[in-house]
A and B are shown apart, each in its own frame.
Chain A
Amino acid sequence: MLTVSALTRSELGARLQQAGIHLQTGAFITCLQTSIPSVVDGIGLLYADYPLLENTDFADFHIRLTRPRGIRRWFKPQVTFMYDGMSLFKPLPLDQAFPMFEWGLNWCVSSRANRYLIIHAAVVEKDGYAAILPAPPGSGKSTLCAALVSQGWRLFSDELALIRTIDGRLVPLPRPISLKNGSIDIIRRYAPQAILSRAVSDTTKGTVAHLKVPADSIARAEEVARPAWVIFPKYEADAAPRLEPIPRARSFMRVAENAFNYSLLGASGFDALASIIDASLSYQFTYSKLDDAIEIFSKLKPLA
């Protein structure tokens, strides 16, 4: 299978500028077109191992990142995210072009892919069992997810848990992990071999950098998994690690609160979520050190 890494930087830049590339991420094909150098760099660095589809005439999402016209172009350059020719978000400073691609692509999936119950959660898998980590921003979800992935867990997603409504299985959507502020240095120290994109400061989420996904997670993007654990992580400075079981009903409601399309899916959303909760053990997890977290995750046992 041809991957992005088969192209040199200048070939990639030329293709992105002309017809665009068809990039496969999990179950979705994105046609991306741009001439913005930082996006070309980001794709070249973080998407090197992703399938590059040639001779295909279909894409799920048609995305273009462009620089809006006008005099701002010269003193405060900006970037616009175009979904099939329509600009749906306010332009951002040009420096944020690559993060904007990532956020925009998340939006494409979370606002459309209604064959899945979509939860704002990280998902990692080991031995066929998946852990869902739903949490609001600031809970340390992405940091924990990055650490787990560096220690052999397979990445499904750090943002979007896709639960197939027909059978309640989790479907991978491995994409670069978004790290914010302090987590960037924490992960640099914790996993020195990790590849990160250039940190971009002053975004609405603070400073962000994206972490490259291990090749194995990308290669196995078609392997679904059954849910085994629903774990609500919470980083608390200096706290001793605590893994506390929580009642299913409470877990259900908290996951529903973090869902993008729970109410849109109606009965099938309820059934999908119920099947996840029934098949899983639910925990509240408080931690301060990543080593403790890895240790505790390695001892998780699925429901018998």
Chain B
Amino acid sequence: MTPQPLVLQAFRQPERLATLSLADWDLLLRQAGSANLLASICALLDEAGLLERVPPQAREHLEWARAHAERHIQAVHWEVTQIQKALEKIEAPVILLKGAAYVKASLPPSRGRLFSDIDIMIPKALLGEVEAALMMHGWAATHHDAYDQRYYRTWMHELPPMQHIKRLSMIDVHHAILPETAAVRPDPEKLRAAARQINGYDDLSVFAPVDMVLHSAVHLFYDGELDHGLRDLIDIHGLLAHFSDLPSFWGDLVKRAQELELTRPLFYALRYSVQLLHTPIPEATMVAAQIGKPNSFLLKLMDQLFGRALLPTHASCSDWLTGTARGMLYIRANWLRMPPFLLARHLFHKAVFSPKTK
């Protein structure tokens, strides 16, 4: 394996960023750039009051990224307002997920985080109404292929992604956090019941702290696209540190994972957050989370795979096995989504029929 990338050291010990040489900065900016983390590094330094001590050449890049991130946050607020307007009449109880939730609830991962879609969750019974309302307000379906429509509507936990025809912004409308076809399907009603209203809004909620961490873990460790793997792990790291002071947070975390059958993704989330980012987690929680530990052969394999795939997609963070690790995790994620027969059928269709219709 390659030596510990600078970008990991930055999130472990932000104060050490003040001592980096210009050559280190050159490499750190490249690693952070390839993981879409430049603005997060800027936010980290800003909070530590260290921005002044960054060499001007490097600081310039951080400021470029900051401008981008500030605009992004503004756009998220605007986009959420538009979604609220579109859904006003049907009074759907909207839960914001991931990036949009962090921004609207002012949680630490929102600082400097860039993402492309707004994700919301609504009750399954309202899918039709919500989709129609969004269409009335300018969002249009993106996947027109009949098979893709079926893939999303029959098997997935979300509508086909929709895009606004004028602003080009994307929205993913979910009714659950894992596909209908996955072996594990946490009950959306339980998540909904525990959700918290966002301060100042009566029509918008976010998941309860433990659920937010669990959803983040599910998304990262059950999803095949690890291009933003490190950013998503840093989200978890930031959420854990932020919720750490809440009474009963650590105790509830593992209990809730058991209740929702999400002990495996939680185990991975805590393990790799500690390994890569040195997140401070109480010993008792680490011990309790062992309940989600896979057998030792599988764990060794996962350490090898995630140890590579969670790093930035930059030459300085890759070795000869990195590509293979990403490929294997992609297959794993699909495997977790669907039972074998359905998956084989899906991949067959994608390989044989879909290219012709493109």
Contacts and interface: CB of A to CB of B under 8 A. Distances in A.
A264 B33 CA distance: 18
A112 B67 CA distance: 10
A84 B64 contact: no
A33 to B, nearest CB: 12
Interface in B6-49: 21-23, 25-26, 30, 33-34
B57 interface: yes
A253 B33 CA distance: 33
A115 B64 contact: yes
B303 interface: no
Interface string A254-267: 00000001011110
A147 interface: no
Contacts of A59: 26
B67 A57 contact: no
A112 B64 contact: yes
A231 B194 CA distance: 60
B64 A113 contact: yes
B64 to A, nearest CB: 4
B145 to A, nearest CB: 24
B64 A114 contact: yes
A114 B22 contact: no
Contact of A266 (B22, B55, B58, B74): B74
Nearest to A86: B34
B26 A58 contact: yes
B67 A265 contact: yes
Contact of A62 (B30, B57, B65): B30
Interface in B64-104: 64-65, 67-68, 70-71, 74
A84 B28 CA distance: 12
A57 B33 CA distance: 17
A60 interface: yes
Contacts of B58: 58
Contacts of B60: 60, 115
A85 interface: yes
A261 B65 CA distance: 13
Given A57-B23, A58-B22, A84-B30, A115 B57 contact: no
A107 to B, nearest CB: 14
B33 A84 contact: yes
Among A57, A114, A115, A264, residue most surrounded by chain B Cβ atoms (within 10 Å): A114
B112 to A, nearest CB: 14
Contact of A115 (B25, B33, B63, B71): B63
Contacts of A114: 63-65, 67-68
A264 B67 contact: yes
Interface string A1-37: 0000000000000000000000000000100000000
B242 interface: no
Interface in A98-132: 112-115
Nearest to B57: A58
B320 to A, nearest CB: 15
Given A58-B55, A112-B64, A115-B60, 15 more contacts: A57-B26, A58-B23, A58-B25, A58-B26, A60-B60, A62-B30, A85-B34, A86-B34, A112-B61, A113-B64, A114-B63, A114-B64, A263-B71, A265-B71, A266-B74
23 contacts: A57-B22, A57-B26, A58-B25, A58-B26, A58-B55, A58-B57, A58-B58, A60-B60, A84-B30, A84-B33, A84-B34, A86-B313, A112-B61, A112-B64, A114-B63, A114-B68, A115-B63, A264-B67, A264-B68, A264-B71, A265-B67, A266-B74, A268-B67
Interface of B: 21-23, 25-26, 30, 33-34, 55, 57-58, 60-61, 63-65, 67-68, 70-71, 74, 313-315
Interface of A: 29, 57-60, 62, 84-86, 112-115, 261, 263-266, 268
Closest 6 CB pairs of A and B: A57-B23, A114-B67, A114-B64, A58-B26, A85-B315, A58-B22
